[in-house]
Structure formats: C-alpha cells, structure tokens
Amino acid sequence: MKYGIQLPVQSRSTIYAEPWEADAGPADLAEIARAADRAGFAYVAACDHVAIPRRLAPAMSTVWYDPVATLAFLAGVTERVRLLSHVAVVGLRHPLLTAKQYATLDHLSGGRLILGVGAGHVQEEFEALGVDFAGRGAVLDESIDALRKTLGPDEFPEHHGKLYDFEGLGQRPRPTQSHVPLWVGGSSPAAVRRAALKGDGWLPQGDPRDRLPAQIERIRRLREEAGAEGPFVVGAVTEPLYVGTPDWEVGRRTLTGTPEELAGSLRAYRAMGVDQIQVRFRCRSLAELTDQMAAFGEGVGPLLREPV
C-alpha cells in the first residue's frame, strides 16, 4: 500500500490548517516536497479553487495556490515523487486549456503527473466564470472524455460532444506518459459511479473507515457490470497521524503510537481493498512536520509495503 500527502500551506481551510502555516511560503512548500521525496511518499497533492466567496472565506480562507503552478514549482525541486491535483475542478476550464497546462506539467516533470478531477462545490466560482453550476456533473463527465483525448498521444486531438467540439488543433508538448492516470474525487453516489466507470482511480472525500467497504464494493460491482478492465487505484484519506507519543494535545481522532502500532492500524485500509492512503500529520512547525514525515517513511512505510 502506497502513501501520499496533501500539501499544507498551499490551501488553508480551517478544517485542517495548522497555525504555523499562516507565516509559511514557497520555501516551506519546497522543503516539504523534498521531505516527501526522501521519505518514499508516492505523491504530493495540491488543491484547486479559483476564488472563494465572502460567505465561505471564514471557514475556507482565501489561500488556495494554483495547482499547476504549484506542482510545476515542486517538480523542479524533487526527483521522484509524483504530482497529484486533488482535485482539479476541470469543468471551470475548457479541456484544451486544461490539457495544455497539465500536459506541459507532465512533460516538464518527466512523466510524474496524476490528474485528479472533481465536480467542485462553490457555486459562485462557476457563476463568475460563466459555467453552469447545476449541471456541473455533466460538465465533468464530458470534460473527462475530452481530456482522455487531449492528454493522449495524438498531436491533433479530436472531440465532438454536447459542450465541447474541436478538431484540427495541435498541442505540443505532449505528456511524457503514454497514459496520464486520471483519478476521480468525491464520495457522492454520482462521484463514485463516475470514478468506477470513467476513472483510473478513486479519491474519496472524507469517508470514515466504516463507510469505505461499501463504497469500494460498489466500485467493484460497477466496474464488473460494465466490463471495465485495467488497473484501478482505490484511495483513502486517513485520520490525522502522529508518529510517537506526543507531549501536546493532538486531538481525539489523531492516531498516535509506535511505527508498528500505526502500521497495524493503517493496514486495516489495505484489508478493505485500499491501494493508496493520503496521510496528514499533526504538527506545530515545519521542522516537526518534516521530522514526522521522515519517521513515517523510515518506520511505518516499510511495514505498509510488506505482503499481507
């Protein structure tokens, strides 16, 4: 079972941001990405919001770095770790524009992109950009179909749909990867179905452990009924973690303990059918975060890779 991390600093929702992030910036992000590279993390992830309305700003904040710019910056300071958009609200942009940005990112990073996509939830963003919010599911469905073409090997991709229609328009550079993995985010029935039938993987949004088995079984059943073949990556977002015994209040839901204890708990995800987990660490500073990442990579990671 692989493990990745949603980067702090680049998004600062009050749900998960730590106080030290308020004064953090690009140098801190670069150090976290390098720490992930050293510690065996499969990916680093960045979020996507164009603009936050005033009604949501107190909870969400207005700090949301652009994912393409952020991941491209981090590609330049890392060597191995993959670059995940978790998730890109691709319906806000024309598929040719999305393809130009992410194909370039994949090219510049040597083929490290994982494109995570989602429907979005902030109505004002859609309205400001002239996109139908009520119909965002259909927009995402067709966007995925178009992106399969625009991120494929053809220099002149062709797509004819209800919302987007183009041909004879060339785009280079092409992605380095022959097939860019496309993971679908969301936990609603529509999102789970979309992931099963259109994606190469599923990125759940906050499903607790007890909900995951039913969701995973539904994905398996939908893919089987549709005759879907090929690799499919099931993800999970874990509880907050702290490697060791903290001497400060880390919160009731945080998993703490020795590497062996944490690995024993996290292996329950693998038993459900999860292929990759997204982890988050409670921490009071950049140094504490990178120390936690190193301890996880050294002590917990190898135990997660052991055969069942």
Residue 187 sits in a domain whose CATH number is 3.20.20.30
- Per-residue pLDDT tens over the stretch 233-255: 999 999 999 999 999 999 999 99
Residue 115 makes CB contacts below 8 A (sequence gap 6+) with: 85, 88, 102, 147, 151, 180, 181, 182, 183
Of 9, 24, 190, 170, give the one whose Cα is nearest residue 99: 170
pLDDT-based confidence at 181, cuts 50/70/90?
Answer: very high
Q: Is pLDDT above 90 for 306?
A: no
Over residues 117-121, mean pLDDT: 97
The conformation of residue 150, written as its DSSP 8-state character, comes to H
Mean pLDDT score across all residues of the chain: 97
Question: Mean pLDDT, to the nearest integer, of 81-99?
Answer: 98
Mean pLDDT of 77-92: 98
Mean pLDDT calculated for residue range 115-140? 97
What span, in angstroms and rounded, lies between the C-alpha atoms of 66 and 58? 20
Of residues 307 and 301, which shows the higher confidence score?
301
Q: Residue 232 in contact with residue 184, Cβ under 8 Å? A: no
The average pLDDT across 292-304 equals: 98
Residue the block writes with tokens 């690799």: 231
> What is the average pLDDT across 84-106?
98
The model's pTM: 0.97
Q: What is the pLDDT of residue 90?
A: 98
Amino acid, single-letter form, for residue 284: R
pLDDT for position 307: 72
Residue corresponding to tokens 């002239």: 130
Q: 278 lies in which domain range?
A: 2-305
pLDDT band at residue 308, thresholds of 50, 70 and 90?
A: low
Total domain count for the chain? 1
